[in-house]
Structure 1
């Protein structure tokens, strides 16, 4: 097939990878003719990344910017992508368009392409927007901005021929709040990642480099913003300050990273280390020498998020310690797979107790880590995601 990927979070494949780059590679490896359009920071053009041509469209800043600027960038994105497509692929047709959320604004371009070529449109539903913005207080429900994006969301579900949801909870949520959507469109497309194939670094040197030698390391990897409510992690770190070998390693970026760093310093939390973004291979190597992977979701979420950072933890075989909102069904997954322990956000006592159970029981920690890795291999690889999408088309 001739497949067009309209991508938002798409790193340079020469330097890194994520869920979406690995799916593109999976389609290429299966012999499909793939076209990728993604944001770029330089001049619009086609760049060869890991042997795959990627059309990078010059856009406004998207990451680590104020919400109002992010909103403007998202609104302009379909026009910038369309201009780039017309410049470089004007006469090219497509059999399938694949696009994830965020953002939802690319629906306008996807619908236009669908009308032109009669192709199928597959939606990878990850963020359920704009409700997640309402939950976090970024947007007023039924306000002008909300109504605009809610209209886009309804159009998105209408135009999509197939909708891959992260979990059954996601499917149930979409059906409950959008009863006009045909249920046959909806199915489960779990998060996915290419399997971790072992060390690119020396374990002991890596531990020494990040100051975690001879430590019990609780790691948090990924975005540090309001959705993660990392204040709960600070409370947890403070509750175990008397254990000198327990250290919290926070890896990543985000609009709240400076705030979290300042609060940790003001509280005298010497057991917290913060490290900005590092190369993906080294990131996975570093996770693999840690003991526990942290998940933290904001207590006010009303949508069932499945945190993608859990993929990294399952992939390298470390157990999950999670603080969750009451809407997600991620805790149910942890229980079913016996791959981690969880509590509700705000239940600091249980969060603390769960950490100590894993800290004090090496066998429990090891077993849960192995269970998570087994679950990953069974359900969370790009090949499984690829087959799920292809099965819809067949």
Structure 2
């Protein structure tokens, strides 16, 4: 195909890269480093007027929106439905030329399909879908939406429309590729390929090598850390029940960092159980979290056993980067657990099986050498297979076919 010069990325939220980075900012910075003209289009519910800004070398069009996050489902739903109209209006207002060669869109959300189709028609660019969320089925799995009801049908039509419009679809894992093929028979399977999550190894530089457990009041403790969203998909009861079963291990502490709709309920469980081996904190500054992560001994992953879709937790990348062995409790439909076996970087058990979860915890708790070896294996895997540059090359290789 023709040379890829101009690229637009559409997403929900996008931090100022001068202050913080995440999965997609790493990718867009890589596109910029590779010589592409990049525009990021993102919502910003702290802004009253849309504005084009230069942030760390990236051109970013920030569009005011109502709340896209939080616990109010109705407000979130309306905000997501309105977003494509707000994006289209902002593009027109700022006279953004519709001459993009490549349109990058991750899920969530699927509702951006309408503005994406408008951009695609105007620019004749190719649409690359970064599939990270199979919606609305994940909402059905978590009983947040009734199957085949009006709302489900509305979003399912959007999903089908998005898949059909996409020229390429990058999936997190092989199980994701297989799932989309199985449940979307109309779709050309040649569109689908593997695009695993990626990491920027420079993030490790944000940890203080002189940080000590004493700074966090964790002297003499083995730390099992969970960092990230605390919502229904994570089913954090798995971790709390494990902590309950491990109360007799006085030097083992479960440190949970993050925010989410389930955090108050999880905190109440800790209080009701009288657990003294669980610490729950709000999201920490990046440097402070990385300091804590560098001192931790075990990285925790938890997913709901109700999932029929193959979720794949991106937070594991930070565990890999900081050489932490992974202890996971996940559903049987994801291939995350079997990947841990293949990479030999962690242990996993089926979500809800606390006995098996504890058995794996005891293996790691008792064997420091095992922890170090699994952590090293994860680090080697991410450096050889999951860097941002590799993700960029995967995308570009698809475009050249």
Q: Distance in 2 between matches of 1:373 and 1:205?
A: 20
How many Å apart are 1:77 and its aligned residue?
A: 1.0
- The answer (yes or no) to whether the contact 1:250–1:275 under 8 Å persists in 2 is yes
How many Å apart are 1:229 and its aligned residue?
A: 0.6
The 3 A distance-change label for structure 1 pair 203 and 242 is farther
1:14 aligns with 2:18: yes
Q: How many residues align?
A: 394
Structure 2 gap segments, 5+ residues each: none
- The answer (yes or no) to whether the contact 2:6–2:101 under 8 Å persists in 1 is yes
Aligned 1:60-209 pairs, distance under 5 A: 60-196=66-202, 198-202=204-208, 205-209=211-215
- The answer (yes or no) to whether the contact 2:211–2:291 under 8 Å persists in 1 is no
- The answer (yes or no) to whether the contact 1:204–1:213 under 8 Å persists in 2 is no
The 3 A distance-change label for structure 1 pair 232 and 197 is closer
- The answer (yes or no) to whether the contact 1:125–1:166 under 8 Å persists in 2 is yes
How many Å apart are 1:282 and its aligned residue?
A: 2.8
How many Å apart are 1:54 and its aligned residue?
A: 1.1
What are the Cα deviations for residues 79-125 of structure 1, in whole angstroms up to 9, with x where unaligned?
Answer: 11111111113334211100000000111111111111111000000
Q: Distance in 2 between matches of 1:262 and 1:97?
A: 44
Residue 362 (structure 1) aligns with: 368
Aligned-partner SS, 1:35: strand
1:260 aligns with 2:266: yes
Selected match of 1:342 from 348, 355, 362: 348
Q: Distance in 2 between matches of 1:204 and 1:195?
A: 19
1:375 aligns with 2:381: yes
- Greater shift, 193-202 or 151-160, is seen at 193-202
Structure 1 gap segments, 5+ residues each: none
What are the Cα deviations for residues 309-364 of structure 1, in whole angstroms up to 9, with x where unaligned?
Answer: 11111111101100001110001110000000000011000100100100101111
1:232 aligns with 2:238: yes
Aligned-partner SS, 1:187: strand
- The answer (yes or no) to whether the contact 1:193–1:311 under 8 Å persists in 2 is yes
TM-score computed with the length of structure 1 as normaliser: 0.97
How many Å apart are 1:285 and its aligned residue?
A: 2.7
- The answer (yes or no) to whether the contact 2:99–2:124 under 8 Å persists in 1 is no
- The answer (yes or no) to whether the contact 1:196–1:316 under 8 Å persists in 2 is no
Q: Distance in 2 between matches of 1:234 and 1:197?
A: 29
What are the Cα deviations for residues 102-154 of structure 1, in whole angstroms up to 9, with x where unaligned?
Answer: 00011111111111111100000000000000000010000000000000000
Cα root mean square deviation, aligned: 1.3
1:351 aligns with 2:357: yes
- The answer (yes or no) to whether the contact 1:16–1:279 under 8 Å persists in 2 is no
Q: Distance in 2 between matches of 1:331 and 1:198?
A: 25
TM-score computed with the length of structure 2 as normaliser: 0.96
- The answer (yes or no) to whether the contact 2:98–2:119 under 8 Å persists in 1 is no
Residue 272 (structure 1) aligns with: 278
1:27 aligns with 2:45: no
- The answer (yes or no) to whether the contact 1:198–1:285 under 8 Å persists in 2 is no
The 3 A distance-change label for structure 1 pair 204 and 259 is farther
